[in-house]
Structure formats: structure tokens, C-alpha cells
A and B are shown apart, each in its own frame.
Chain A
Amino acid sequence: MEILHLLADEAVQVGTSLLGSLNPTILGLIFGGSLLGLLVGSIPGLTATMALALLINLSYGMPLENAVAFLLAVYIGAVSGGLNAAIMINIPGTPSAAATCLDGFPLAKQGKGGLAIGTGLIASFVGTFFSIMVMVFLSPLVYKIALRFGHWELFLLALFGIMICGTLSAGKDPLKGWIVGFLGFAAAMVGMEQIFAYPRLTFDFLQLKGGIPLIPALIGVFGVSEFLAVLQENVAYKIDGRVGKVIPPMKEFIPLIPSAVRSGIIGVVIGAIPGAGEDIGSWLSYDVGKRRSKQGHKFGTGSYEGLICSEVANNAVIGGAMIPLLTLAVPGSPPSAMFLAAVWLHGVRPGPMLNFENPGFLPLVAALLILGSFAMLFWGLTLAKPMVAILKIKREILLPIIMPLTVIGAYAGGVRIFDVYLMLAFGVLGYVLRQMDYPLAPLVLGLILGPLADTSFRRALQQSRGAIMPLLERPIGLLLLLCIAWLIWTGVKRARQYYAEQAALADGEELSVE
């Protein structure tokens, strides 16, 4: 009964926020942000994280509500915009649209590119909307649990976050994901620590006393390294098919509702897992859809169901990622990490205390996400043809213009040229890691969760006077500890299996060694 009351209360608050947000400024920012997000997302090589990295600087001078509206609209637009390139040129605009290529491109080759884009956009809208509903009704319950977290549980949560993010993002070699996650922790150790204000690893650089600023690091890792990696490759592409009719007949969607709901659930769950991200949600949903559907054999040949599985899930990750972000300050995906950094700049501290410090923030986010998803659908359907035309512009022209924007983004937050140098250093680090097949998401998550892990761990030990046993008797902590142990066990097993498979497949490449 209490839960129902809580949920009804939450729904009323979202409704109130929605009505309050219907003013020209916010609507203008939402429609503007959505359009910019769709544009950036449409360009192959530019991810949703990069879209936020490039446009975050526009939000610095805005009031909180306007900044949140703008950034959420960019986020939804960029995740959804990736489907244009995936369908028309078989190159995903964003990694989250990679699974969309499998059915979208065959549809485009059959002359149904427009219908595929329309279907994908409607699926994206459904996925976002579904995830917002889950976020609204689930977040208050997570808040209740989060309030019972002590220092020990918070430390374990941070550790669990980078372990699971490392496991999921590194593919078959979780060891690499964990290494990068701990590197993020190490980077977070730079600067004044929070208990004694003792400067660590600053090497007498005054600028490092405040720690490594998140936004320049994020822009470097996801912006600069991506810029280098994309321009380094000579990938030529051309548009073969015509766009044609965009709005699909609604009656074709009815048999696909169960697939959409299943994909929505998968997307939300993957989104709620720290750092997992839209691409994992989309691939997993596509894979499950292919195995569960009666029409699974048609997947990969131009199936609308396959397209829906991918597009519903990658957008459902948005709402899912907001659940741990708002309740525990743990971002569910790299773009949501960027959003977290932006709201920190505006003085909002997401986490278990958010409901007390900023009671209206969660309903506001939900309301703005709803408006953002409508804006995305509007622009996506009306501007489908011009969006495809943008793909004709060479990347060699577009990408260099983006570099000055990353410089402004890194500089404007702290108004220090040192932050631009940091961005560059993280860009090079990200580029090197990328070349060696290391995932980048755990690095960012480690950087965000590092201070929480450090402070919580030492405070927990201080409370228990150095004894480990009292800490092991706490049920939530024990559960998290078991999850971490399970992740390590399965991760090591998976890595061993991967290397064994690799060895069996290649059977060794003979190399002369003197």
C-alpha cells in the first residue's frame, strides 16, 4: 500500500513537472538540443558521448532546468540519430546502432530505407518512453534501499560498478576491462583526498590539487581519441538506396509489441548496470530477439522485428542508466557519465540524498526526457531526408571542425588552459588504449567512482576499527561481495576459455625468432 502511494505521488510530481516545463524557453532548448543530437548522432564516428562532450559547453551559462532539458534532448537525439547511417550506408552513426545495420541496410537495399528509418525512430521513441516509466516507478524504491547503504556498502558498490562495467565492456577478455577500471580509480587518486585534505600525486602542480576534472578527461577519452581513430581509417562510403516513404503503417507494429516490450526490459536492465551502455543493450536484445522470435530466421535479411529489437533496447538504456545515476550517483552508460558531470557543475549531487536536497529533480528529469523523446520523434520523421543528405558530406571536412569545439568544452568549465592539456593527455591515453583493444567506459567510471571508493573504504575501516568480520556480517555488503566474487570467478573462466579458443582457431602463427 505504501509503495502504491509512493508511486502515485511520483506520477503526480512528473505530471506537475511536465506542465511546468511547457514554456517556450525549455521547449526551444529541447527541440534545439534534439536536432543537434540527431545531427551529431547521424555522423558515423561521432557517439552520443561525443555529442554531449561537444555541446556541454553551451549549457554552462544556463540555469539548471534549462541545462538539463538541453542535455537530455541531445542525449536522446544522439542515441536515436545513429540509425540513419546504419540503415542507409551500413555504418553505424553511433556504436549503439551497430545491430541496426543488420536489418536496416538490407531494408534500404530493398528500397525501404525510409520505412526502416521511420520504424527505427518509432521504436526509439517507444524504448525511451518505456524506460522513463520504469525509471519513474523504480527510482523511489531504489532510493529507499540506497538510504540503508553505509560506507562499506558504498565502497563495494563502487568496486562492483567497475568490475561489472569492465566485464561487460571488454567482451571476451574481462581482465582488460578491470585493468582500465582500476586505472580510472588511480587517476581519481590525484588531488586533495577528502578526509585530511592531503594532496596526493600532484607532483607539485597547483592545478592538480583539485583533482582531475571530469569533463576535460571525458572529452579527451571519448572525443579526441575518437577523432584520431576515425580519421586514421580510410573508410569510404556512399548512399545506394533511396529514402522514400518514412512513416510506416501502424498495423504492422501490433504483432511486434511483445518483442518491443522484451527489448525495452533488456535495455532498462542493461542501462541500470553501471557503465554498460547502449551498444551492449542493443546487441543483447537483438541476440535474444533472434533466438526467441518465431521469425528469428528472417533476422539479418531485412526484418522489421530485428530493427525494433535493436532500436527499442538502445533507447531504453537511457532511462535505465538514469536509475543508478540519480539514486546512487553511479552512471549507467558513458553518455550518462557526461550528464552526471554536467549536473555536478550546476550544483546538483545525485545520490541517495538527492530526494532530500533536490526533491523535484527526478520528476523534472522524467518530464524532460518525455519531452525530449517527442522532439526526437518529430525531427527524426520530418527531417529524415536532410539527415541522410548530411551523410554525403565528407568526414574529412566535418571532423576537424569538431576539434575546436572539444577545446572550448574542456576550457570553459574551469577557465584554465591546463584543462585543455589534460584533455589532450587523456585523448592520447584513450587512443593508445583503444589501439590495444582496451575498453574506455571503465576508465571513466573509475574516475567518477574513485573518490567514493577511497573515502568509503577508509571510513568503513575506521568505523570497524580495522576489523573485517563486522563488515562481512552486513547483508547488503555481503550480497555485493558475493556478486564481486562471482564476477571475478566467471570473468577469469571466460578469459581462459577465450584464449584457449583463440589458440585452437589459429593454431599458432609461426614466426621466426632469432
Chain B
Amino acid sequence: MTRKVYKGSGADFISAVCLVLFGAAFTIAALRMRVFNNSLLVSPGLFPLILGGVFILLGLLLLRSAAKRGGWYEASHVLGREHLHTFFTSPRVRKGTILLLMIVAYVATLGYVPFVWSTAGYLLVTFLYLKAMKLHWILLVSFLAAYAITFAFRDLFRIPMP
């Protein structure tokens, strides 16, 4: 069976479904908020309640538009096992994910390892992954940059550091 679908409609379809679900959750959270002076007019939940409704409405509008463009079919194709495998093994996505994971690891170490060491480690690993320079330059630039940043902000400008 073949159908006419348009590029991007699958992403729109998925984001529209997420938006409707988010809107519903937001509405429920707003309804659970306390009502002051028996009046909803000034109560903290009023504006979030309206926002929840707006999200559902905008989500449905986007869903309708995406569905008309074959969004459901593209979404089910995109979320299929084969496509997901291709997606996650594409060099672009893999690079973005690895870079993001490096940042997460860097941020996670900040509370436990001194800033200068965690920064040097992060720079070293990132430069190595990106093949930015030759190894001896990577080592030199990583430690020099980490030290220079720490010195400039902590000692020169007296900025609080993690």
C-alpha cells in the first residue's frame, strides 16, 4: 500500500501528540492547585489552567494539519524499528548524542571533582573525539585552557566557580 506523505509531517505529528498530552497534564496540575477565597479568578491555578487548554488546542491544530499531510503514516514509519536503527546509527545523530553525553558527564563531575580537573578532562575527551589536533597539542591545550579559564574567572575576576 502506498500513501502520499510530506517530509516533516511525522515530526509534527509526534510533537502534536506530545503537546496534547503535555496540555492535559498541565490542566490536571492546574486543577489540583489551591483555590484562595473561594474564587478561581485570582487563584494560582487559573493561568496554568488556561495555558493547559491552549496547549491542547494548539496541539490539536498541529495534529490536524500533520494528519492531513500524512503525518500518521510518516510517524509510524519513522518510529519503526528499521528506521529508528538507521536514525540512531547516522553519523550526525551519533555525534550530537556523544557530544551531549560528554557535557552531561562533565556537569555531573562538577560537584565532586575540582573545576580545573573536570574541565581539563572534558576538553581532553572532546578534543580527542573531534580529532581537533594532534595528541600532544590536545594535552597541552586542554590543561592550559582549563587552567587559564580557572585563573581568569576565579582569581582575576573573583567569580564564584562550581
Give A residues with C-beta under 8 Å from B. Answer: 57-58, 60-61, 175-176, 178-179, 182, 185-186, 189, 193, 195-196, 198, 200-201, 224, 227-229, 231-233, 394, 396-397, 400-401, 403-405, 407-408, 411-412, 415, 417, 420-421, 424, 427-428, 431, 436-438, 453-454, 457-459, 461-462, 465-466, 495, 499, 502-503, 506-514
Q: Given A394-B132, A466-B41 in contact, is the A513-B77 Cβ separation under 8 Å?
A: yes
The A-contacting residues of B in range 64-96, CB under 8 angstroms, are 65, 68-70, 73-74, 76-77, 92, 95-96
A453, B65: Cα distance in complex, Å: 29
A57, B160: Cα distance in complex, Å: 9
Q: Given A189-B48, A408-B159, A508-B4 in contact, is the A182-B55 Cβ separation under 8 Å?
A: yes
Q: Given A200-B33, A509-B6, A512-B1 in contact, is the A231-B127 Cβ separation under 8 Å?
A: no
A513, B79: Cα distance in complex, Å: 12
- The A contact surface, by secondary structure, is helix
Q: Given A397-B141, A400-B130, A499-B65 in contact, is the A182-B162 Cβ separation under 8 Å?
A: no
Chain A residues with Cβ under 8 A from B12's Cβ? 436
* Residues A400 and B127 in contact, CB atoms below 8 Å apart: yes
* Residues B110 and A420 in contact, CB atoms below 8 Å apart: yes
* Residues A175 and B62 in contact, CB atoms below 8 Å apart: yes
Q: Any chain A CB within 8 A of the CB of B149?
A: yes
User: Which of B41, B69, B107 sits near A458, CB closer than 8 Å?
Assistant: B41
* Residues B41 and A510 in contact, CB atoms below 8 Å apart: no
* Residues A461 and B41 in contact, CB atoms below 8 Å apart: yes
* Residues B2 and A513 in contact, CB atoms below 8 Å apart: yes
A-B contact count (CB 8 A): 188
The A-contacting residues of B in range 142-162, CB under 8 angstroms, are 145-146, 149, 153, 157-162
Q: Any chain A CB within 8 A of the CB of B31?
A: no
A420, B160: Cα distance in complex, Å: 13
Interface centre among B61, B122, B160 (most CB of A within 10 A): B160
The A-contacting residues of B in range 1-57, CB under 8 angstroms, are 1-8, 11-12, 15, 19, 26, 29, 33-34, 36, 39, 41-48, 51, 54-55
- A–B Cβ pairs within 8 angstroms, 11 of them: A200-B45, A229-B96, A232-B96, A396-B132, A403-B103, A403-B126, A407-B106, A412-B160, A428-B100, A437-B8, A461-B46
* Chain A nearest Cβ from B34, distance in angstroms: 6
User: Which of A61, A428, A502, A506 sits near B157, CB closer than 8 Å?
Assistant: A61
- Not counting A200-B45, A436-B15, A506-B7, a sample of 4 additional A-B residue pairs whose C-beta atoms are within 8 angstroms of each other reads A396-B131, A401-B145, A404-B123, A513-B2
* Chain B nearest Cβ from A393, distance in angstroms: 10
Chain B residues with Cβ under 8 A from A507's Cβ? 4
* Chain A nearest Cβ from B29, distance in angstroms: 6
* Residues A198 and B99 in contact, CB atoms below 8 Å apart: no
A503, B71: Cα distance in complex, Å: 13
* Residues B42 and A182 in contact, CB atoms below 8 Å apart: no
Chain A residues with Cβ under 8 A from B141's Cβ? 397
Q: Any chain A CB within 8 A of the CB of B133?
A: yes
A305, B8: Cα distance in complex, Å: 37
Q: Given A403-B106, A499-B65, A506-B6 in contact, is the A458-B46 Cβ separation under 8 Å?
A: yes
Chain B residues with Cβ under 8 A from A189's Cβ? 47-48, 51
* Residues A233 and B92 in contact, CB atoms below 8 Å apart: yes
A405, B107: Cα distance in complex, Å: 12
* Chain A nearest Cβ from B123, distance in angstroms: 6
A164, B79: Cα distance in complex, Å: 34
* Chain A nearest Cβ from B11, distance in angstroms: 5
Q: Given A175-B61, A200-B33 in contact, is the A509-B157 Cβ separation under 8 Å?
A: no
